[in-house]
Amino acid sequence: MRLHFHGHACFEIEGDEGRILIDPFLSGNPCATVKPEDFTHLDGILVTHGHDDHLGDAIELSKQTGAPIICVFELAHYCKSQGAKTHAMHIGGKHQFPFGLVKLTQALHGSGIISPDGEMIYGGLACGFLIQMEGKWLYYAGDTGLFGDMELIGRRYPIEVAMLPIGDNFVMGVEEAVHASQLLRPKVVIPMHYNTFPVIAQDVGEFLHLLQRRVPESQGKALKPGDLYEV
C-alpha cells in the first residue's frame, strides 16, 4: 500500500481495496501540496477530532466524493448536520469497511468544533486510529499527549507504521514521541504535526537521532509534504 503525506497531519492511504484520507486539512494548510478539488474518488475520510487542522475539508470532500466521514459519534452528528455522509463509531470499537478495518483508539486531546459563526460546538472525544489494510496494521495516533496504554496497543497489534505527532505545545513533543515509539514498537515511525506553524516548529533531525539511539528496532522516516512511502 502507499502512504502519501499531504502536510501537517494529513495522509492519503491507497491500498488494494481502496483509498482513504486521514485528517484532510488542505485549504489553509500552508504546506499542503494538493487541493480538495484534486480528489475525485475516496472510500473513506477518517477524522480524529473537530479542530480545524484535522476536520479541515472533510465535509466538502464527503459531498464531493460521496465517501463517509469516519469519526466519533458526536463529531459525526455535526458533519451529518452539514450535509456530509458519515459513519459514526467510538473509542474501542472496530468496523470492517470495504477498504480495510478501522478501530478507534483513545487520544488525550480536545475535540471542540468552531462553527462558521464562531461558536464552540461539542465534538465528543478526540481519537486515534488503528487501520488494517492488506493485512498490515497502521497506527495513526492523532493529536495526543503520551499515554501509558500505548504499550497495550503495541502489545496487541504488530504495528507496521506508526504516525506520531512531534510538534509539542498541543501534542507530544520530540521526547514524548520517542517514548511513545518505545511503547508501541512499530517497524517504522513517521513524525507528523510539526513545522506547519511557528508554534509547532521542531527539529525533526533530533527526533530521528533520538529514535535511532533509544529505539533502534524502529526506523524513523520523515516525509516532506507530497512524499510517498511504500509499505
Binding site for Mn ion (CB under 5 A): 53, 143
Name the minimum Å distance from CB 225 to Mn ion.
16
Minimum CB distance to Mn ion smaller for 48 or for 218: 48
Considering only CA atoms, which of 9, 15, 50, 52 is closest in space to residue 131? 15
Output 90-96 pairs: Cβ under 8 A, ≥24 positions apart: 90/124, 90/125, 91/125, 91/127, 94/130, 95/70
Binding-site partner at residue 176 among Ni ion, Mn ion, none, CB < 5 to 8 Å by type: none
Q: Which residue is nearest to Ni ion (CB)?
A: 51
- Distance in angstroms (rounded) separating the CA atoms of residues 26 and 72: 21
Q: How far is the CB of 187 from Mn ion (least distance, A)?
A: 25
Residue 74 binds which entry of Mn ion, Ni ion, none, with Cβ cut-offs from 5 to 8 Å by kind?
none
From residue 120, how far is each of 71, 100, 112, 151 by CA, in Å?
A: 18, 33, 6, 33
Return the number of the residue (48 or 86) whose C-beta is nearest Ni ion.
Answer: 48
Question: Which is nearer to Mn ion, 25 or 39 (by Cβ)?
Answer: 25
Contact, 172 vs 166, CB < 8 A? yes
Q: How far is the CB of 214 from Mn ion (least distance, A)?
A: 25
In terms of CB distance, is 126 or 208 closer to Mn ion?
Answer: 126
Residue whose CB is less far from Ni ion, 36 or 112: 112
Q: How many CB atoms sit inside 10 A of residue 205's CB?
A: 10
Copy the grid coordinates of residue 137: 496494521
- What are the cell numbers at 46? 477518517
Biggest distance spanned by C-alpha atoms of the chain:
48
Q: How far is the CB of 128 from Ni ion (least distance, A)?
A: 12
Give dist(CA 22, CA 185) in Å, integer.
22
Compare residues 6 and 51 and give the one whose CB is closer to Ni ion. Answer: 51
Rounded to a whole number of angstroms, the minimum distance from the CB of residue 199 to Mn ion is 11
Least distance CB 112 / Mn ion (angstroms):
12
Which of Ni ion, Mn ion, none does residue 103 bind to, with CB < 5 to 8 Å depending on kind?
none
**Where does this chain bind Ni ion (CB under 5 A)?**
51, 143
User: What does 6 bind: Mn ion, Ni ion, none (CB cut-off 5 to 8 Å by kind)?
Assistant: none
